[in-house]
Amino acid sequence: MDLTRRSLLGKAALAGAFALTPRLAFAAAAAATDQRFVFIILRGAMDGMSLVMPVGDPAYSRLRGALALPPGGAVPIPLDSTFALHPAMARTAAMYAAKEALFIHAVASPYRERSHFDAQNVLETGGTAAYALKDGWLNRLVSALPVGREPPIAIAATVPMVLRGTAPVTSYAPSALPEANDDLLHRINGLYEHDPLLHPLWSEAMDARTLAQSGGSGGGTGNASPVALGKLAAQFLSKPSGPRIAVIELLGWDTHAQQSLRLTGQLRQLDAVIGALKDGMGADWSKTAVLAATEFGRTAAINGTGGTDHGTGGAAILAGGAVAGGRVVADWPGLGNGALYEGRDLKPTTDLRSVMLGVGAASFGVDPARLGPALFPGARVTPLAGLLRT
C-alpha cells in the first residue's frame, strides 16, 4: 500500500468538507489562501481590564484600587476617549497607531462558569459547553480549506486542543537536545509502519523537521522563550509552501495575588511575541492576522491579595497587516452598580466566536454563512464583519 495514512486523512477531511458544505472547498480554493492566521492562547485568564483599561468609566478606579494604574508610575497609552492600553504593550501600541491592531473588549466565549480547564476547552473546541465537542475549531477550519498546503502547526511539543481533530496537523518546538541521526529516524519509520497512532505522528514529525531544516534554522534553536516561539512561527508561516495557520500558547495569566508586576511581565512577553511575528513575517505581515484570546476575564474589582479572581468578560487582541485596526471594538456595558455580570464581573457583550468566525472567514475568503456551522456546530454565530481590510 503506497498511500500514507496522512494522505488518507487528508482525503477524508476533504470528503468531510464536501459532505458538509458542497461548494465550500472550491469557493475557498479560488480565493486567496495566501493569508496567514496565528492564534495565541493566553492560558490562565488574562485580565482584560488591565490590558485595555476603561479609564473613562467613572467606576473604574474605585473598583480597581491599587490596580487601576500600571506599576512604577508608568503611564497608560490612550486608545480613545474611554480606553487606554497597558504601557507594557509598546509594540502593539505602535501597530494600533499604524492601524494594524485593534482590541475587542467585553468579549467572552459562551462559557459562563469559572473553571479554567472547562473554559479553555470551550475556547478551543468552539463548543457551547465544555467537552461537548471532541475536536478543535481551528482543525475544523482547516477541513474547510483546500488541501495541499502544509498542515497547520502548533509551536509546541504537543498539539493543543484547538488544533486536534481529523485534519492533519503538526507540531514543532525548538529543542535543546542533540538531533537523532538520519539512519535511526529511517528505521523508526519501519518500526511504526503498522501502528495506527504512531505512524501518522511520525510522518508529521519528519515533514516538520524537513521544513524547519530547509529554512536553514537547523531546527534546534535552544530553549524556547516565548519570543523564540514567535520567531519560529513566523519562520514557518513565511515559507512559500509552509503552513498558513499556527498556534502559540502563553501560560501564567492566573494573577490571583500581587497582579501588578506579574501582569506587566506577562504583557511585555505577549507584546514581544506579537512584535517577533511582525518582524519575522516581513512582507507577508500584510497578509497576516494574529488573534490573542483567553478563556475568560477576571473580576472587575481588586481582591484582598492585590490580584483579581476568575471572572467573565475580558479582552482580545487582533493584530496584523491584514487587520483594519486603530480602534477598540466594544459595546461597553459599563462598570456601574447593576451593570456587572452577577454583580462581580465585566458583562460580556461580544461573542468571542463571532470574532473567530469574522477573522477566519475574511482571512481565507470563505462565506461566513457556510463557515459558521462548520466552526461552531449547533450554534448560530453572527460573524463580526470588517475586522480585516478587504
Partner 1 sequence: MSSDIAIAINRFGLGQRRDEPVPSDAKRWLLDQFAAFEPRPAVLASVPTSVAMAIQYRESLLMIRDALGAKAIPELANIPAMAGPAAAPPSPKAMQKDVQKELREGYRMSYIALASGRIAAAVASPTPFAERLTHFWANHFAVSADKMATVGLAGTLEFEAIRPNLFGSFADLLLAVERHPAMLLYLDQSQSIGPGSAIGARAAMRADAKRKVGLNENLAREIMELHTLGVGSGYTQGDVQELARGLTGWSVGGFVRRPTGIEAPDGAFVFQPDWHEPGVRTLLGARYANNGVGQGEAMLRTLAVHPATAHHVATKLARHFVADEPPPALVARLAAVHLRTGGNLTALYRALIDAPEAWATPLTKFKTPWDWTISSLRGLGMRTAPDARSVGTLAALGQPIWRPGSPAGWDDIAASWAAPDALLRRVEVAQRIAGASGGALDARSLGPQLMPGVWSSTTAAAIAKADSPAQGLAMLLVTPEFLRR
Give residues 301-340 in contact with partner 1 (rule: CB under 8 A). 302-307, 309-310
Closest contact distance (angstroms) between CB of 387 and partner 1 is 28
Tell which positions 123-162 bind partner 1, by CB under 8 A: 130, 154, 156-159
97 binds partner 1 (CB under 8 A): no
How far is it, in rounded angstroms, from Cα 257 to Cα 188?
48
Tell which positions 34-53 bind partner 1, by CB under 8 A: 43-44
Closer to partner 1 by CB, 97 or 157: give it. Answer: 157
How far is it, in rounded angstroms, from Cα 340 to Cα 332?
11
How far is it, in rounded angstroms, from Cα 20 to Cα 144?
9
Closest contact distance (angstroms) between CB of 148 and partner 1 is 19
Element (H, E) at 37: strand 36-42
254 binds partner 1 (CB under 8 A): yes
Q: In this chain, which of 97, 191, 369, 385 binds partner 1, going by CB under 8 A?
A: 191
201 binds partner 1 (CB under 8 A): yes
214 binds partner 1 (CB under 8 A): no
Tell which positions 346-385 bind partner 1, by CB under 8 A: none
Which one-letter amino acid corresponds to residue 330?
A: A
For the chain, the first-to-last Cα distance in angstroms comes to: 45
Closer to partner 1 by CB, 11 or 186: give it. Answer: 186
Closer to partner 1 by CB, 65 or 378: give it. Answer: 65
Closer to partner 1 by CB, 80 or 113: give it. Answer: 113
Closest contact distance (angstroms) between CB of 383 and partner 1 is 30
What is the CB neighbour count within 10 angstroms for residue 373? 14
Give residues with Cβ within 8 angstroms of 161, minimum separation 6: 120, 121, 124, 125, 136
Q: In this chain, which of 111, 172, 364, 376 binds partner 1, going by CB under 8 A?
A: 172
Place of cell 464536501: 18
236 binds partner 1 (CB under 8 A): no
Closer to partner 1 by CB, 43 or 140: give it. Answer: 43
Q: Please state whether 119 falls in left (phi above 0), alpha (psi between -120 and 50) or beta.
A: alpha
78 binds partner 1 (CB under 8 A): no
How far is it, in rounded angstroms, from Cα 304 to Cα 349?
28
What is the CB neighbour count within 10 angstroms for residue 161? 20
Q: How many residues bind partner 1 (CB under 8 A)?
A: 77
How far is it, in rounded angstroms, from Cα 13 to Cα 28?
15
8 Å CB contact between 371 and 360: yes
Element (H, E) at 359: helix 352-364
286 binds partner 1 (CB under 8 A): no
Crossing angle of helices 198-214 and 226-237, in 10° steps, is: 90
Q: In this chain, which of 261, 282, 378, 386 binds partner 1, going by CB under 8 A?
A: 261
Closer to partner 1 by CB, 200 or 373: give it. Answer: 200
Nearest Cα residue to 103 out of 318, 353, 270:
318
Beta strands in 215-299 (DSSP E): 245-250, 288-294
31 binds partner 1 (CB under 8 A): no
Closest contact distance (angstroms) between CB of 123 and partner 1 is 14
65 binds partner 1 (CB under 8 A): yes
Eight-class DSSP state of 52: E
Closer to partner 1 by CB, 285 or 341: give it. Answer: 341
Q: In this chain, which of 21, 264, 294, 354 binds partner 1, going by CB under 8 A?
A: 264
Q: In this chain, which of 3, 19, 176, 283 binds partner 1, going by CB under 8 A?
A: 176
225 binds partner 1 (CB under 8 A): yes
197 binds partner 1 (CB under 8 A): yes
Element (H, E) at 314: strand 314-319
How far is it, in rounded angstroms, from Cα 306 to Cα 258?
5
Q: In this chain, which of 210, 213, 258, 382 binds partner 1, going by CB under 8 A?
A: 258
Q: In this chain, which of 14, 59, 94, 224 binds partner 1, going by CB under 8 A?
A: 224
Nearest Cα residue to 309 out of 323, 297, 322:
297
277 binds partner 1 (CB under 8 A): no
